[in-house]
Structure 1
């Protein structure tokens, strides 16, 4: 249940219209709730605020908020375009999910609607003097909220879409994905390595797309109901086609087609990958950012070096989490493959090592990162570091011309 709610919440965060819509509904409700003050004893002691003063304040709020909201949308679109063009289009979803910008836009639109509704209600004598006083207090608080939100948002929008900010957001998404995987290793299932051969009936999906999510709780419930065992053949992030099974089902004793349809409902395909159950996707995005920075058109080795440091921090988190993880399997009828560190390193460093093979500063930094990660105390990470260090050095020897550069990289690699 927690994973399902988190997945749907993350998809909602990527929709720009959801929060403004909710804020608009709240704004209309607040405008009419002020009338409740006229039904209380407050009418005897609150000061009588003139209609003109409240109307002036609401006019100011209404006239300015629409302009500010339009300005906010323009600034956000520019920042989103900058993130997609300077980093990679795959980073767009994490930039779009920026809470500060979405909250600011929601406040601006919500306050505009609040001002318009309250102004119409005021001019139609919906409020007595207690209601006008409540409306005045609410309007002052709303005006203060707008000012604070605008100041905070201006500080955020100055960074939104910049390369460093985009890398930080992708790093946070990958870190959350790593933490979720370690909180429930193998998505909460049993190790697929316990099954010597998958066997069983292959489960294929009729669609083509990336496997975004596996609903493990639903899969477990259906496997228990049908007395089956399900062995996943792929992990979220895999590009699936009808010709390749996503799982193998053992123990079928009922109508095959009906059982397969029930189990297939737990696998969700889409056109794009997401970060939730797919830790490798974030590493691919970071590698794409570094590769674009190393292209001749951009020529920004500093960004590639920044990505190397980011990946090193993420693998340090991965190593620590593996050492501390003691989670038990939640789903005893579903077998799931492990994430291989070699695959993670392929996603994080193959493209970077290829495109930075001719740059001595990037190559040295990459070899130092491999040396550092090899000392994290994880045997699988150490093996992946040694393999990728050799690969990167082989690329350097093929591309670099100056012998001194090659020798400097060799010394950094320890060979």
Structure 2
């Protein structure tokens, strides 16, 4: 598990505006380096590059990148709307973390700002003589980066927003989250047993309603150690908490620890994939259920979703849990049996009357029923009985 600081930085870096701002800053840095680099160019090389050649390239970049950026933003918005309307609105969050799209768009914006700024500086006669030669070399480098970005963008557009790409990315994120939770069933803390919470433990109530998006458990551990306290969190990551509902119970620390708890148990309007494999399973299940609706009538997609859900559980089976590191925290452990029921029951209910799905569903449930996890296999057998009745 990553420490809180790295997790926050990772989440921050996946925002489009951050990448655009970063590459824009690099564009201005490139211009500054072009000016400073003129000092290392030997005398007598000035005539090799004419100002008109540089100006023409800069104008082409400025004119084309503005158009390309506008077009690319339109394509991105259209892909987001298509995924939300065709597959499931929850999958839209996966596209918001599409680093390829973010990097390509940031490259286009950065190139536009570079060219526009260079044109202004040329009109102010900032680049002359040897500086003009360095600017020409830097501009050729920007052109090369634009070409690479366009090739990546064309390749990426082939699958952007498609069902295969969307479902594959959800599956990969869910497997990653599931493996992390298998190694850390209670996120590195003790597994919560509600019966063992001391009667005198103080209640901490939620100050707003929302999904428990993620926990920064290392900071909770630090706060509990500072106050010589214990924390029993009553809701799993991904669970919905109502305003005024008991979020956790603590022994010691008072309001200061309660404030730290509310700060590091993040509540929000949407779930995310990082610590919540159930969210990815829900997204896949919704895609399959929509495919089986009378308006779509696509059992092939439902079968594909079934196999993806099956892989998520089978490919993460047997991961050995790590030892408890956060000895002052008690968190709800991962309940794979409940996740299996929540993911497969809607599919089974909608697909039980379709003959072409009978055999694949039966084989999938048999495979799950033969796993070493007794709770998971029991849930699979129970689903099988419901499917046959």
TM-score (norm 1): 0.88
* Alpha-carbon separation, structure 2, partners of 1:390 and 1:364: 14
Mapped to 1, the partners of 2:269 and 2:10 lie a distance apart of 16
RMSD: 2.0
Q: CA deviation at 1:74?
A: 0.9
- Give 1:181 shift: 1.6
Query: Using the alignment, how far apart are the partners of 2:270 and 2:149 within structure 1?
Result: 33
Whether contact under 8 Å (2:80, 2:95) holds in the other structure is: yes
SS of 2:127's partner is coil
Matched, 1:347 2:342: yes
Query: Counterpart in 1 of 2:267?
Result: 269
Kept after mapping to 2: 8 A contact 1:188/1:328: yes
Separation of aligned partners in 2, 1:106 and 1:247: 42
Q: Which residue of 1 aligns with 2:279?
A: 281
| Deviation for aligned residue 1:282 | 0.8
> Distance between the aligned counterparts of 1:3 and 1:298, measured in 2?
44
2: CA distance, partners of 1:274 / 1:224: 28
Alignment of 1:89-238 (within 5 A): 89-193=89-193, 196-197=196-197, 199=199, 200-238=201-239
Conserved 8 A contact 1:209-1:269: yes
Show CA shifts across 1:36-57 (max 9, x none): 1222253455763100011111
Structure 1 stretch 185-194 or stretch 264-273: which is displaced more? Answer: 185-194
CA distance in 1, matches of 2:62, 2:243: 54
Which residue is 2:366 aligned to?
371
Contact 2:197 2:232 in 1 (8 A): no
Are positions 1:295 and 2:293 aligned together? yes
Equivalents in 2 of 1:12, 1:83: separation in Å? Answer: 23
Structure-to-structure mapping, 1:9-48, within 5 angstroms? 9=9, 11-12=11-12, 15-45=15-45, 48=48
C-alpha displacement of 1:87: 0.9
Write the distance in 1 (CA, Å) between the matches of 2:174 and 2:85. 21
> What is the distance in 2 between the residues matched to 1:70 and 1:154?
15
The equivalent position to 2:330 in structure 1, one of 313, 331, 335, is: 335
Query: Which runs of 5 or more residues in structure 2 are unaligned?
Result: none
CA–CA distance in structure 2, aligned partners of residues 12 and 109 of structure 1: 19
- Counterpart contact for 2:189–2:325, Cα < 8 Å: yes
Runs of 4+ in 1 over 6 A off after TM superposition: none
Structure 1 Cα separation of the partners of residues 158 and 197 of structure 2: 55
Q: 1:32, CA displacement in angstroms?
A: 2.4
2-structure distance, mates of 1:92, 1:14: 14
Pairs aligned (count): 388
Give the unaligned 5+ runs of structure 1. 395-415
Contact 2:210–2:270 (CA under 8 A) maintained in structure 1? yes
Alignment of 1:400-415 (within 5 A): none
Distance apart, 1:363 and its partner CA: 3.3
Alpha-carbon distance, 1:10 to partner: 5.2
| 1:43–1:120 Cα change, 3 Å | farther
Moved more, 297-306 or 376-385: 376-385
> 1:276 aligns to what SS in structure 2?
coil
